[in-house]
Structure 1
Amino acid sequence: MGGIDNDHSSSGISSENAKEGTTTKDPKLEFSEDEEDLIARMFRLVGERWSLIAGRIPGRTAEEIEKYWTSKYSSSND
Structure 2
Amino acid sequence: MTTLNSTDGSSVDSRGESNSQDSKLEFSEDEETLITRMFNLVGERWTLIAGRIPGRTAEEIKKYWTSRYSTSE
TM-score category, normalised to shorter length: 0.5 to 0.7
User: Could you state the TM-score of these two structures normalised by the residue count of structure 1?
Assistant: 0.61
- The structure with higher relative contact order (CA 8 Å, sep 6+) is 1
Q: Is 1:57–2:61 an aligned residue pair?
A: no
| More helix as a share of residues | 1
> By percentage of residues, which structure has more strand?
2
Bigger radius of gyration: 1
1:26 aligned onto 2:23: yes
Alignment coverage as a number of residue pairs: 51
How much does 1:64 deviate? 0.2
List structure 1 segments (4+ residues) > 2 angstroms apart after TM superposition: none
Q: Give the one of 35, 39, 45 matched to 2:35.
A: 39
RMSD of Structure 2 on Structure 1 (CA)? 1.2
Unaligned runs of 5+ in 1: 1-24
Gaps of 5+ in 2: 1-21
Give the % identical residues.
78
TM-score (norm 2): 0.65
